[in-house]
Structure 1
């Protein structure tokens, strides 16, 4: 390894530390260890993002500093309780270590439902992991950080729901990180077979104000006729460098709703690629962001329509305060065989400060001639009349601003039919305004 490559690997996450990590996981199957070795080599070979990379347009590149981060050795004693809504089962990680898990109900186990930490799933359900783990490559710019995730991945979960099984209550996975200069690399896989129905809620939170690195990956797969809801909510510390890459696959007549809530991080990049592979497939891509301070939230999306008669709808809403920056770059791709595609893409930005900046780059790439597609973005401020109306009724300015932000967000939150989950997310968002 060259000196330059070793620098990009970063002290603390260098080849020596990777070798130690690999030796600590020697109990896992050889094929998984080889996968991790290949990912480490890929990470070392890939360059850091540069100004010439279109997928990093408007992003702050000088602050992508991986130096000094370490893998935590001990779990934190402080683990916030975020799953305050009825749920089927939960798995909790603290500093990459499994610290708690609840038992999957016996009737679901009898039907073949699997909800297990990733390491357990690799040992017990290796063929399933092989089939779906990073089945489709990352291609929105963070390939280097996805490779780093695979190399160091230890925390994560598998949710597998067999054909025809419908589960009302959500499954929950929580990742908590604490300690100065600590890093985590969660990876979650959700597989719904034909006509299955399930919800997974994933939380990513810092338990202190330390400098953190988080690089997460999800593989979300909905088989024919399946209905999958995925909610990912992150509230990292104000000094966290965060990457999250989601891969969504919807087969024939499948419906996938993904909602991502972004509240924390000094610099947080989220990539989501939804692939509609069978006729009748539908993808609902939603996101809410509260951007404060001088932090940057970078969102990159793809809606790829491969088969005919598929639909997708993207709605990303950002509320920006202080000197915060948001970047949205989204593309709808309609392939030649995807006739009668119906696809929409909207990015809405609410500017709550004169110094906040919102960059929006929606786009279309259409290769079929019988489609209906549209895209658009808006950036606007709160109407003074609205603020005056609330303040005239005795509501202080900060509370009035918060109420108007929640009104702005409700269009997205109302997409969730689970009222308890809706309320829990509202409470989490509200906590951002109390800091």
Structure 2
């Protein structure tokens, strides 16, 4: 596939699509046991991908993003070799000691499937990999899979995701079932040139309660890869969903993550993203507040160094009255890293007494880092309380001086300040061990940075 250049284009050229089409045809041929509706949906999605234009400068949804260099020409859109170190990756998939269910995927292959207890199964809980769900739970998949359309700029990549999707996790929680232990999904990128398509689909019926953790990780620091993930949440009346994503792909990976949720009446949905990895990473999050009395929290933190770019696009759509949404995105930038935050609160005419907040805070740890913020409001109701804001600042000199005066090296002082900056979000992760793993991922990034600096000096 050719580069997604700065130039405007109406659609991908046939020459650019041809090698991916060949790979897609081989992909479909390998789906010999898949139901016909699944193959048909994939074929339709591929045609959508082929017809949609590549991102270009005329698109407001790609404002500020670097378009040159978003290449997929080296990616293998095909079946990959078997994974020889599956056991070691399963052993490393240890963010939770106790869990209600666990899937470990490596290059979209199932490395480990830890199923639910008989007690949960008797209550009607479904925890299944997609390869199984498309046959055993076809009705649920037909009703919910990819029913929340991508609408923040990455429609082309969402279509690519559905076309090449190999596996994923389906979680269905029936009415009134509350589950204390979390479900967890690990998505490992392993082979160089691989393309993975993580997908987690969460459905909770009325008054259900569940926690889900997803970890996107690289098996090595050197294998350049492509990840295009999707997470969809459907929260029924009075239900509670807590979702946490830890993204720590290596810094040679190109990543996309498309998240959305639909909150029913009196439901509570909280999503937290911790983004540390990828050379280029774009996340899109759409909170759809469709039920009165519902509350949606959208939280994110990102640490970017070197020349990383983290592009964040969000939408809070209020279409029901008496509902709350609260968005907080925090970014810490080092070296020549750059972030983009573009967020919109949209309140429909009938969504009176909406209470919505949107905040983006950026902390610059170098003079060459760049943070772009575009918060916005679109309000069509007259009885609402909405606010949005963005701040970008450097670490105060007196904060650094205070620590230097006590013998703390400058680099360590910056690290400690970043920890404090992020704690407001980390402390809201429901699973303590997951929160601690998030802290360790951030700490490991700083340790790696210090090691490189020491090598450069020696």
Segment drifting more, 76-85 vs 38-47: 76-85
Aligned-partner Cα distance in 1 for 2:16–2:249: 23
Segment drifting more, 107-116 vs 220-229: 107-116
* Residue segments in structure 2 that go unaligned for 5+ positions in a row: 1-9, 449-458
SS at match of 2:187: strand
Counterparts of residues 113-192 of structure 1 (less than 5 Å): 113-192=125-204
State whether residues 88 and 170 of structure 1, in contact with CA within 8 Å, keep that contact through their aligned partners in structure 2: yes
Aligned-partner Cα distance in 1 for 2:29–2:137: 22
After superposition, the C-alpha distances for 1:41-95 in whole angstroms (9 at most, x for unaligned) are: 0000111011000000000111111112004332251523342443222100011
1:318 aligns with 2:324: no
Aligned-partner Cα distance in 2 for 1:182–1:175: 13
* Residue segments in structure 1 that go unaligned for 5+ positions in a row: none
Aligned to 1:203: 215
After superposition, the C-alpha distances for 1:183-214 in whole angstroms (9 at most, x for unaligned) are: 11111100011000001101111112211111
Deviation at 1:9, TM superposition (A): 3.0
Aligned-partner Cα distance in 2 for 1:44–1:20: 16
Counterparts of residues 197-276 of structure 1 (less than 5 Å): 197-208=209-220, 209-276=222-289
Aligned-partner Cα distance in 2 for 1:59–1:157: 31
Computed over aligned residues only, the root mean square deviation of the Cα atoms, in angstroms, reads 1.5
SS at match of 2:13: helix
Deviation at 1:182, TM superposition (A): 1.1
Deviation at 1:391, TM superposition (A): 2.5
Aligned-partner Cα distance in 2 for 1:184–1:418: 26
TM-score normalised by L of structure 2: 0.92
The equivalent position to 2:33 in structure 1, one of 14, 27, 31, is 27
SS at match of 2:211: strand
Aligned-partner Cα distance in 2 for 1:24–1:302: 37
Aligned to 2:17: 9
Aligned-partner Cα distance in 2 for 1:401–1:330: 28
The equivalent position to 1:298 in structure 2, one of 311, 322, 338, is 311
1:394 aligns with 2:383: no
Segment drifting more, 169-178 vs 72-81: 72-81
SS at match of 1:201: strand
State whether residues 339 and 372 of structure 2, in contact with CA within 8 Å, keep that contact through their aligned partners in structure 1: yes
How many pairs were matched up? Answer: 432
The equivalent position to 1:37 in structure 2, one of 33, 36, 43, is 43
Deviation at 1:421, TM superposition (A): 2.2
Deviation at 1:398, TM superposition (A): 1.9
Deviation at 1:284, TM superposition (A): 0.2
Aligned-partner Cα distance in 2 for 1:395–1:86: 37
Aligned to 1:374: 387
Aligned-partner Cα distance in 1 for 2:393–2:11: 47
State whether residues 76 and 95 of structure 1, in contact with CA within 8 Å, keep that contact through their aligned partners in structure 2: no
Give the 3 Å change call, closer, same or farther, for CA 369–181 of structure 1 in structure 2: same
State whether residues 76 and 94 of structure 1, in contact with CA within 8 Å, keep that contact through their aligned partners in structure 2: no
Aligned to 1:415: 428
Aligned to 1:73: 81
After superposition, the C-alpha distances for 1:193-248 in whole angstroms (9 at most, x for unaligned) are: 10000011011111122111111111111100000011111111111111110111
TM-score normalised by L of structure 1: 0.97
State whether residues 317 and 409 of structure 1, in contact with CA within 8 Å, keep that contact through their aligned partners in structure 2: yes
SS at match of 1:228: strand
Segment drifting more, 357-366 vs 169-178: 169-178
Aligned-partner Cα distance in 2 for 1:217–1:316: 19
Aligned-partner Cα distance in 1 for 2:100–2:324: 30
SS at match of 1:434: helix
SS at match of 1:415: coil
Aligned-partner Cα distance in 2 for 1:20–1:334: 45
Aligned-partner Cα distance in 1 for 2:259–2:300: 13
Segment drifting more, 24-33 vs 307-316: 24-33
